[in-house]
Structure 1
Amino acid sequence: MRGLRRWLDDTAGGLPATFWYLWAGLLINRAGAFAMLFLSLYLTAARGASESVAGIVVGAYGAGGAAGVLLGGVLADRWGRRATLVAAHLVTGALMVGLAFSRHLAAIAVLAALVGVAHSMPSPAFVAAIVDVVPEHRRSRAFNLQFWAFNLGMAVASLLAGVLAEASYVALFLVDAAATLATAALIAWKVPETLPRRRPSASTPRPAPPPGGATGRTRRPGLGTALTDRIFLTFVGLTFVLAVLTMQTSTIMPLAMRADGLRPSAYGAVVALGGVLIVAGQLFVPRLIDRHRKDRVLATSTALLALGFGALAVADDLAVYLGACVVWTVGSMLAAPPNAQINADLAPPALRARYQSVFYLAFPAASFVAPTLGGFSLQHLGDRHWLIVGAAGLLAAGGHLLAGPARERRVAALRLRDVERREATPAGRS
């Protein structure tokens, strides 16, 4: 019993109530966010669209997502985290109701693009709010629990979506809307505004120069600061490679399995195994990695992803795919907490959500690059495609080791600057 209590404390102890309300909102949102998973099937089966038209509409949703993460980051730093989260979820719920009853493909395409914007807006605000309220030494477990909730919610969504899609596509969109509005209600009711508000005073120090090290004419910090921060962009680039590797599961691997003569049920088994491993094992990750440097954990996790997908070069039956899935899923599990924590640590407090929005651009970019280049590569190179994927992952693992020291120096400098800022304020001296 004592060991169980220690494990629970290491896994979820010491986190403020606001975090748990944010966590619950994320879980509800993910569990109900299933309509867009079936968008292409809905368009072809219920609206008579061709595969190419369905692809364009789904692409519009993805393009909206890229715009949404940037908009969400800017608004979360200006309006506030709570206001952005509530507004984005209310708009998403209304758009889902519109999709439920839309009949014309042009209207559906416009609504899908707008849903893409609204769906992606909360991501930077969620993470920025978590960083605002969770003490630094607890953030690793907070991000681990966030990743666990995301995957648990997606697992529930996948099960519910199949049932609802067979019963009614209208119900699919309406239940999604209801879950989204429930999240908005929970956040509006229980989550206070977490954006730090600093009042300027005579004793408040002048703003520090941008972390990218730019000199010369002073610019007002904003989204451009994140987009010109070399250390941060190096980290985003390495995360982009990790995202491209992860996207192989849903984009290229199904095609490879079909070429190997495996049935769709075999692909479902591989995806289900990954989900079960994350739900069952993610809560044990913090105790495993907390004593190790983040750059080494990320290098190890990226190398595992590379080895897992690289092994598909010799896969020709389900057993090999399942074994490889175990390897790359463990890599994903190890990567989630330090990846999120480094992203949070590199951001100046006043630009926290903007940095998150630039970071999250890696994922819609990967969702475009992975199927576009991957399909061409698989068609022309066959199983050698997986060797290229594995090599890219190993190079990224090496990149984390090389970039790690500079990241740590940046984080230390930002922490020192924040301490000096707090001590310079009247509250800090009292």
Structure 2
Amino acid sequence: MRTVRGWFRDTAGGLPRSFWYLWTGTLINRLGSFVLIFLAIYLTRERGFSAAQAGLVIGLWGVGGAVGTTVGGILTDRWGRRPTLLTAHLGAATMMVALGLARPLWAVAVGALLLGTFAEAARPAFGAMMVDVVPEKDRLRAFSLNYWAINLGFACAAVLAGFAAEAGYLLLFLVDAATTVVTALIIFTRVRETLTRPAAPVAKGAAAPAGALRTILRDRVFLGFVALNLFAALVFLQHISMLPIAMVDSGLSPATYGSVIALNGVLIVIGQLFVPRLIRGRSRSHVLALAALIMGVGFGLTAFADTIWLYGLTVLIWTLGEMLNSPSNATLIAELSPAALRGRYQGVFSLSWQLAGASAPILGGLLREQAGNTALWLACAGIGAVTAVAHLVSGPARERRAVQLRAAGVPAAPVTLARTPAPEAAEAAATAPAEPARTGS
């Protein structure tokens, strides 16, 4: 019992109260994340669109997400984390209902575009706020706990959505919108603004928000890391677009897809809390390379799946890679970015996911229609292998950059933009170490 209590304390103890409010909002939001899980099946079975048309709609979701993360990153640094999150969540809830009521292809496409814009605009603000409130020494634990909450909600949502779809697809959109509103209310009532600015003017030549684009475009190490994440995301996001279509073509029902994909969340819920201890002290480049290779193998084996248990096995394999990839990604981004540009760096990194979200379903759909199902999944395996090698080659440069930023960081006296600082934010600021020039994920 003492060992269990010690493990729980090491895993979840000592984190700021603001983090737990954000964690709760994440869990509630993901419990209702029905729509994207079943969007491909909804578009092809309920609306009668082709696989290419469904890929186009999901791709427009990704295009909207690319716009959303870019704008959201700018607003996060200029307007603030809290108002950006609130606006994004309320806008996403509204567009969720609109998409559920849309009927013509053009209306569905526009709805997906706008929904992606609002939904993903929250990502940079949320990531920046997480880094704001959690001290550096606790971030690996915090990111792992938040990822655990995402997948706990996802596992439950995947199963529940499969049965809800049988009752009517509109219910999926309404529940998703409702949980998004609840998340917005939690942020509005419990989380204070965390954006800080230097007390003194920024010195000439320093990295200031006005030169954000030039700073990022010159940061080849960071952009190289973003590019590798883009390739990994192109493979990973096939589980949303082409995997459900492949399973339906194998004669499996939407509820079966929900149960199989829920294995992803269940495995992460069971094992993710042990991952930080497993990878602590190990080379992040080696961990990321192994993660890319495992994900490639898992998706590649989908080429030979035609039964429930085979599809389930492939999901379990690529989930292991996802579990290794997520915390390593999060902590590395936290060390590669200047603190003054935290939101923008979050936005650019998130942009890789949105670009993949826009292109993965379109490319996957075209490749599947032109070359066949087997070629699609074997191509995923090839991309995973190439990405793994690239991580091994580029890893030393990333670590050198992280060391340089850590050594050059000069903490500035913060001035909180919120009228009344939250007690938990003050607690985090008091216990946090000196903040070097970096950002988080």
TM tier, smaller: 0.7 to 0.9
Task: Please list, as runs of the form range in 1=range in 2, the aligned pairs for 1:176-195 lying within 5 A after superposition.
Answer: 176-195=176-195
What letter matches 1:23 in structure 2? W
Secondary structure at the residue paired with 2:337? Answer: coil
Whether 1:291 aligns to 2:290 is: no
| Separation in structure 1 between the aligned mates of residue 298 and residue 49 of structure 2, nearest angstrom | 35
| Separation in structure 1 between the aligned mates of residue 260 and residue 44 of structure 2, nearest angstrom | 26
Deviation string for 1:197-250 (max 9, x for gaps)? 21225xx6445359xxxxxxxx93224432442111110111112112212333
Deviation string for 1:333-380 (max 9, x for gaps)? 111101111122211111111111111122232234333333444552
Instruction: Please tell me whether the aligned partners of residues 86 and 187 of structure 1 are also in contact (alpha carbons under 8 angstroms).
Output: yes
| Separation in structure 2 between the aligned mates of residue 250 and residue 96 of structure 1, nearest angstrom | 17
Instruction: Please tell me whether the aligned partners of residues 124 and 356 of structure 1 are also in contact (alpha carbons under 8 angstroms).
Output: yes
| Separation in structure 2 between the aligned mates of residue 250 and residue 50 of structure 1, nearest angstrom | 16
Whether 1:395 aligns to 2:393 is: no
Instruction: Please tell me whether the aligned partners of residues 260 and 311 of structure 2 are also in contact (alpha carbons under 8 angstroms).
Output: yes
Distance 1:62 1:366, change over 3 A: closer
1:102 deviation in Å? Answer: 5.7
What letter matches 2:313 in structure 1? G
Larger Rg: 1
Distance 1:395 1:200, change over 3 A: same
The residue number in structure 2 matching 1:408 is 399
Task: Please list, as runs of the form range in 1=range in 2, the aligned pairs for 1:26-175 lying within 5 A after superposition.
Answer: 26-39=26-39, 50-51=49-50, 56-99=56-99, 107-175=107-175
| Separation in structure 1 between the aligned mates of residue 256 and residue 207 of structure 2, nearest angstrom | 54
Distance 1:150 1:355, change over 3 A: same
Instruction: Please tell me whether the aligned partners of residues 74 and 223 of structure 1 are also in contact (alpha carbons under 8 angstroms).
Output: no
Task: Please list, as runs of the form range in 1=range in 2, the aligned pairs for 1:316-331 lying within 5 A after superposition.
Answer: 318-331=308-321
| Separation in structure 1 between the aligned mates of residue 171 and residue 372 of structure 2, nearest angstrom | 43
1:88 deviation in Å? Answer: 1.2
The residue number in structure 2 matching 1:225 is 215
Distance 1:415 1:168, change over 3 A: same
Pick from 252, 256, 266 the counterpart of residue 263 of structure 1: 252
Secondary structure at the residue paired with 1:197? Answer: strand
| Separation in structure 1 between the aligned mates of residue 403 and residue 18 of structure 2, nearest angstrom | 27
The residue number in structure 1 matching 2:418 is none
TM-score (norm 1): 0.84
Deviation string for 1:122-157 (max 9, x for gaps)? 111111111111111211111111211112222232
| Separation in structure 1 between the aligned mates of residue 132 and residue 104 of structure 2, nearest angstrom | 43
| Separation in structure 2 between the aligned mates of residue 247 and residue 314 of structure 1, nearest angstrom | 19
| Separation in structure 1 between the aligned mates of residue 411 and residue 331 of structure 2, nearest angstrom | 22
1:168 deviation in Å? Answer: 4.8
Distance 1:244 1:110, change over 3 A: closer
1:166 deviation in Å? Answer: 3.9
Instruction: Please tell me whether the aligned partners of residues 59 and 361 of structure 2 are also in contact (alpha carbons under 8 angstroms).
Output: no
Instruction: Please tell me whether the aligned partners of residues 309 and 389 of structure 1 are also in contact (alpha carbons under 8 angstroms).
Output: yes
Distance 1:35 1:273, change over 3 A: closer
Secondary structure at the residue paired with 2:410? Answer: helix
| Separation in structure 1 between the aligned mates of residue 174 and residue 366 of structure 2, nearest angstrom | 37
Distance 1:279 1:192, change over 3 A: same
The residue number in structure 2 matching 1:215 is none
The structure, 1 or 2, with the larger RCO (C-alpha pairs under 8 Å, 6+ apart) is 2
What letter matches 1:91 in structure 2? G
* Alignment: residue pair count: 413
What letter matches 2:206 in structure 1? A
Task: Please list, as runs of the form range in 1=range in 2, the aligned pairs for 1:366-377 lying within 5 A after superposition.
Answer: 366-377=356-367
Task: Please list, as runs of the form range in 1=range in 2, the aligned pairs for 1:239-278 lying within 5 A after superposition.
Answer: 239-254=229-244, 261=250, 263-264=252-253, 267-278=257-268
1:41 deviation in Å? Answer: 5.8
Distance 1:308 1:123, change over 3 A: same
Structure 2 unaligned segments of length 5 or more: list them. 415-429, 435-441
Deviation string for 1:81-119 (max 9, x for gaps)? 111111211222333444566666655543432222111
The residue number in structure 1 matching 2:417 is none
| Separation in structure 2 between the aligned mates of residue 360 and residue 60 of structure 1, nearest angstrom | 16
What letter matches 1:14 in structure 2? G
Instruction: Please tell me whether the aligned partners of residues 93 and 177 of structure 1 are also in contact (alpha carbons under 8 angstroms).
Output: yes
Instruction: Please tell me whether the aligned partners of residues 55 and 362 of structure 2 are also in contact (alpha carbons under 8 angstroms).
Output: no
1:325 deviation in Å? Answer: 3.0
| Separation in structure 2 between the aligned mates of residue 71 and residue 20 of structure 1, nearest angstrom | 26
Instruction: Please tell me whether the aligned partners of residues 128 and 344 of structure 1 are also in contact (alpha carbons under 8 angstroms).
Output: no
TM-score (norm 2): 0.82
1:174 deviation in Å? Answer: 3.3
| Separation in structure 1 between the aligned mates of residue 168 and residue 371 of structure 2, nearest angstrom | 40
Distance 1:258 1:30, change over 3 A: closer
Secondary structure at the residue paired with 1:279? Answer: helix
Instruction: Please tell me whether the aligned partners of residues 10 and 287 of structure 1 are also in contact (alpha carbons under 8 angstroms).
Output: no
1:288 deviation in Å? Answer: 0.8
| Separation in structure 2 between the aligned mates of residue 40 and residue 417 of structure 1, nearest angstrom | 47
What letter matches 1:94 in structure 2? T
CA RMSD of aligned residues (A): 3.1
Distance 1:199 1:14, change over 3 A: same
Q: Percent identity?
A: 47
What letter matches 1:71 in structure 2? V
Instruction: Please tell me whether the aligned partners of residues 63 and 357 of structure 2 are also in contact (alpha carbons under 8 angstroms).
Output: no
Structure 1 unaligned segments of length 5 or more: list them. 211-218
Secondary structure at the residue paired with 2:198? Answer: coil
Distance 1:355 1:258, change over 3 A: same
Distance 1:196 1:55, change over 3 A: same
